[in-house]
Structure 1
Amino acid sequence: MQFKLKFRHIAACAALAGNGVLLSTQALAATEGTLLLNRLGPVTSDLYIANADGSDEHKLLADEGFDYHASFSKDGQWIVFTSERAGLGESDLYRVKVDGSHMQKLTDHIAVDDAAVFSPVNPNVIAFVSSRRGAHDFGTTNIWTLNIATGALKNVTANIKFDPSKPHSFFRPSWSPDGKWIALSSDIGSDWRGHNLPVGWERTQESSIYVIRPDGSGWHQVATRTGYDEGSPTWSPDGKRVAFYETPVESTWGAHRPEGINNVSSQIVSVDLATHERSELTSTPGFKVFPQYLNDTTVAYHVKGGDTEGLYTTAGVERATRNTGIRSPRYSYDGKKIVYEKVSFRPARANGTPLFSFDPHWKYTYIDVFPQLSADRKQLVYTEKAINSSIAVVNADLSGYDRVYDASKSGLDPSLVQKGLAGAFQPTWSPDRKWVAFGVGSWFFTRAGGPGKIMRIKTDGSMGSHAEALTDGSVNAGFPSYSPDGTKLVYRVWSEKEKGLRILDLETRKTTELTTGEDNLPGWSPDGTKIVFTRKEVNPTDPNKFHYDVYTIKPDGSDVRRLTTPGSNQGHAVWTYDGRIAYCSGEYGFRDELALYDNSFQPDGQNWVMNADGSDQHAITDTLWEEAMPTYVPNP
């Protein structure tokens, strides 16, 4: 699966001699306007190096760069890492001396390049994960090698057969001690699966461990366990065993959710490559990731998040690291040094933060969730999820901030609001900009336990935060969208007995049933002829197998059309100012092992656009992070 870019990748940065500082040249582009989008991922990420016992900890690099996923060369002189120095979201590979000097950019491609590791027999060769396709395209991830000295690239996993309707990504390469094999994890051959079946729509992951020669031959599986996810393989120094973390597939959901991390665990397992004998090296609570052999019998690992977060070894050494933000620890080959990033998620990025522009005609810019541009293109309304899920209005250039509804006065459970599971969501403009309608209540997987009402409020401030209720709360109602003439609202309802889309006539207050399926996130087209929405499609023989796709329907209930292809999830569709549809898609799969993420929902999601009839579907982002909520704001 791949996407043919419609534009050449403008070189994103130029290196200054000596210190390796990079200058963005994105300002030369963005001729069409601004593309606003939301991203779930770390807000800061800085590399640190320390002794293995934690002493002498210091930043690896003096300047700010949003750097992560580092590892040592065998001689301990170099560190290779991923950085977004070319722009937030654009992940490239770099190497640097362990003292922070002689930084060198190794890759410059619009696709994701990540998780690089040095060959133990040739310090000029690295293996890494990349979603690149040719010189300027991207798709699903593969394992690549790069010869730093010659520039020679090799797609190691290019010829492996796969079912394009199912997951088929490759992650976390690890070299054998003799450099003749690469171990990796892959979800190839697994199924798209939700969590808390049959309820949760966000995907879980089921990966196994494989090995392959650097020339692409010898592909075979060395470890798998039905119903379990295995990841981040590491070789024993004698080359006889591979160790990895293993967890139930369902736990890959809790592993990247703050409310779930204390309720899930993984264990470190090793397999003998000659006999395939499994050995479980741990049996304790805590979500263990990033195993690494320190010698033939001792494996170090990191407990990610939760009450027992810390650095451990199977020999009994442990060091608590809770609330430090440490992620992705990697030890030097002699076990004396350790490198890792420290990440933070709060405070959230400020609205207007520049992001890397995958389409150079548009200036990619961060905004909070559910932004909507007014019909006259003068103002934006959005949900302040980063604060307390209230409703705010700004000018199209993000100036003139005004909070028009304060969710703290809604009576909602503050803990659910803080987690982003309740609040005032999906605001929508009346065409004259005098009103904003929105849903107030509990959403997503908390919707069964809480109410949801459609509300509206005047934007002139005359109502304070005392919004008018348009539905009575007898059924969870939310995610409204105004018709272009301002006379109606379409919204979704959800309960065990009643589901689907409804249209409310604002003059008569009569409600019309539009659909009765598990449909959500409706949006009225700018010309009023169609409503776009997301539909859950369930396998009639197995309720645990389902997917989400983007549909359109006419307001009279006719001409229902599915626009996207079943398989991965496609949803959160919105209309663009020019009548196209922007949406979130998992078409290209995960970019990293799912269990390694934090504070995210569906990190396989990237932003895509298509025409109103479903043609010309193509991605407009390719990052390691969860991308969502695209809104085009054209230049005046």
Structure 2
Amino acid sequence: MNNQVMRRTRLLWHLAAGLLLIALLAGGCLQALDKPRPTALNPAETETAVMAAYEGTLTARAPTHTPQPTATPELATAVPQPTATRVPFMPNDGPFVAMVRIMPDNSENIILKSLSSETVLVRSLAGHSTIDLAWSPDGEWIIFTSAFNNLFSRSNELNIYGMRPDGTQLRMITGDYLNPVQAIGPFVVVSGSVVGGSESCLVSAQGVSNWVSADANGTYELSGVPIGSRWIRAVCEQEDGSLQGSVELNLAEDKANTVDITVKAEGEGWSMADLAPDGCTVAAVHYRWSKTEQGSIETINSGVLLNALGKRVAELQLPDNATLTDLAWSPDGSQIAGSLTFGNHAAIWLWDRNGDSIGSLVEAANPEDTLLSFYHLAWSPDGSKIVVAQQSYAWWSDPKFKTELLSVDVAAGIATMLVPAEYGTHALHPAWTPDGNTIYYQQASSAPADDPFKINAWQIWQVPAAGGAPTQVTESNSNTLPAIKSNNPPRTQAAEGCLDP
């Protein structure tokens, strides 16, 4: 399996191995996690500016800059620019399923599928970078989390994006991103050195239309930087991962702007996002990782409430010794459900709309020979049930991992099996149809490899919400992250900090 596929599946299983180690250690909320790090930044995923991906060629007011030649010119080779197809209408034979399709060349297409037709919204995103996809409750936006163009964000490996379901109006919600088209001059040159990076390093700044490569000595020169740019960052690819760093800027027009950037083995980003019914508040999981002197990775996850412009509003109150993996708004927007893993059990936790803890809804204790983790959550349209993915790790089994879907009765706090799985098989990312009768999900097998990060081709399946035999929906290529448009009435107004209706 190539490195891009490995990177993709590691992201899809974000924190899985770390959660298992936490359970084994039964320790505190910050542990040394023996797991693949959050994905190292791939320079091939950073060449194109975000807004250009869907609405034409990016033309900044800044002077055009050609990346400097380097000892590794392949890093500065542009990949084909993603293109979008504007959908003139949606057929009336839903459900409308948005999903990510992995193509044979490992690029990604975002697909909109109905029962009778299929439309490509976005073509040729850099391969294996999107790890979460959801509709807004009013059906006016698609929210997704991706490594696409991450170098144009302040420090993130993964960012949260919003996009209209016709493929237009893409926006990077997180990352302190500034569209170069909106950048205000004058524009200056920033130069300096990348400190601490021994191999290929890329440098970008807020509002620039291109990144540059540092030379073999770490020296860089970045032109076309808006005078009001607030940050500059560097990412250096190493054999064992990436080194990253960013610096606050205070630029001047009448003197040289020299900035050295120190990079370290650390990183951060967003692993998932869910938009509230009001279109204003995003519940998201933020991660931050660093490497210890012993070479192990320490990771901290937090639950954050953002407005639709990416400004932090609140942080969720997490119980002690818990690792958060997913969040989902209730249909009425009054509560947030989250999947947590502790040292000896997994739980679905509830918070109110402000992020204050309500308490545990349901818990699953680890059997004597198995470690359990909860992942992806999905509320039913009427709010009476939650479907959650439960991963089991049994050290006596071969293969050792499986992921099943449970259905939780919210009023009773009781979980029942919905999609059982054999070890080596994984059912993830459940999504309800608007009538509440069917659940779509992605399924794959990690066999023959005894490693949940080495996943064979994903496909979309469906199962009756009341239980029954699952059936396969897609067959070609590899299809992931099903998200289904609701039948909720559209919003008519948008307050400040909200996505437009």
Normalising by structure 2, we get a TM-score of: 0.48
Higher Rg of the two aligned structures: 1
TM-score normalised to structure 1 length = 0.39
